């Protein structure tokens, strides 16, 4: 990676994290196309590079949430208990079963398009009647395992999936955001370590791009802190619509690439 590439990664991560951190998303899911399409990070190395970004960027938003007294609690423990084993399984699947870029892009499109459309519908046309019931602890942990697997394959830590799903099920954003970010941080650390170990036992581009991961992470560190600071001042509806729009746009981009 050249210095302009590292600076571009830093700037992109800062802007993305500032926009996504208020709802508990590290921004890795939207940084991924920048790494693949602009910076040319090979597959599957892009996945651990994104996880490394989460590890470096995570403390920014978490520090802000801790100072505001919003960090910790039972939801955080449930998410970590599920996503940590899930991300290890996802890393193994990514290296040995889903190594090709075409399959990876198809998976990304199938994941992001429905998620973005679901966010739009839940935000613009809320279901009438009583509020959605919060998921039980068992359901939350099972969901976290599934999202952990997806995060291990996709390199997103899982917060970008857990956040909107839990908010859609009636959990307040102020509770979901710090829990999802804490889960993303711990899960990404375990996932990055898993990929580093797998790189010793297999050939190909499995290890992360350390310089790019750290450069993007430093941008996310600053952006995440700013985003968490702005959370109480930003309208929740606008943030949900923004995340939905970004998810649909990225998913559509990968779908077009698969169809070419």
Reply yes or no on whether the pLDDT at 75 is more than 70. Answer: yes
Angle at 14 between CA 151 and CA 178, to 5 degrees: 55
Helical (H) or strand (E) element with 257: helix 236-259
- Asked if 6 contacts 211 with a C-beta cutoff of 8 angstroms, the reply is yes
> Per-residue pLDDT for 134 more than 60?
yes
Q: Residue 37 pLDDT > 90, yes or no?
A: no
- Burial code (b: 16+ CB inside 10 Å, e: under 16) for 24-39 equals bbbbbbbbbbbbbeeb
List Cβ neighbours of 2 (8 Å cut-off, separation of 6 or more). Answer: none
- Comparing 30 with 142, the larger pLDDT belongs to 142
What's the pLDDT at 15?
A: 93
Per-residue model confidence (pLDDT) at position 226: 93
Summarised one tens digit per residue, pLDDT across range 170-220 is 788 788 889 989 998 998 888 888 877 887 777 666 677 889 999 999 999
Encode pLDDT of 44-70 as tens digits: 778 788 888 999 999 999 988 888 888
The set of residues, in sequence order, having a beta carbon less than 8 Å from that of 177 and lying 6+ positions away, is: 21, 22, 23, 24, 65, 70, 163, 228, 231
Give the whole-angstrom CA distance, residue 193 versus residue 98. 19
**The pLDDT of residue 98:** 64
Q: Can you give the pLDDT at residue 155?
A: 67
pLDDT at 219: 96
- What are the Cα distances from residue 249, in Å, to 37, 65, 104? 14, 29, 17
């Amino acid at each position: 990676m050249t210095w302009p590439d590292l600076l571009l990664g830093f700037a992109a991560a800062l802007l993305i994290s500032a926009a996504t951190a208020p709802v508990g998303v590290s921004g890795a899911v939207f940084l991924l196309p920048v790494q693949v399409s602009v910076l040319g990070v090979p597959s599957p190395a892009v996945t651990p590079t994104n996880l490394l970004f989460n590890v470096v960027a995570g403390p920014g938003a978490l520090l802000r949430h801790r100072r505001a007294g919003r960090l910790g609690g039972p939801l955080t423990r449930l998410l970590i208990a599920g996503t940590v084993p899930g991300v290890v399984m996802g890393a193994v699947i990514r290296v040995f079963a889903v190594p090709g870029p075409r399959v990876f892009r198809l998976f990304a499109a199938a994941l992001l398009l429905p998620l973005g459309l679901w966010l739009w519908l839940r935000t613009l046309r809320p279901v009438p009647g009583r509020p959605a019931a919060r998921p039980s602890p068992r359901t939350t942990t099972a969901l976290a395992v599934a999202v952990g697997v997806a995060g291990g394959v996709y390199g997103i830590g899982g917060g970008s999936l857990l956040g909107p799903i839990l908010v859609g099920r009636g959990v307040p954003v102020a509770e979901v955001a710090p829990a999802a970010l804490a889960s993303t941080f711990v899960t990404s650390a375990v996932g990055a370590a898993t990929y580093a170990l797998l790189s010793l036992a297999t050939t190909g581009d499995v290890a992360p791009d350390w310089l790019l991961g750290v450069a993007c992470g430093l941008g996310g560190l600053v952006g995440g802190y700013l985003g968490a600071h702005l959370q109480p001042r930003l309208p929740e509806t606008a943030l949900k619509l923004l995340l939905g729009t970004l998810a649909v746009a990225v998913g559509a981009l990968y779908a077009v690439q698969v169809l070419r």
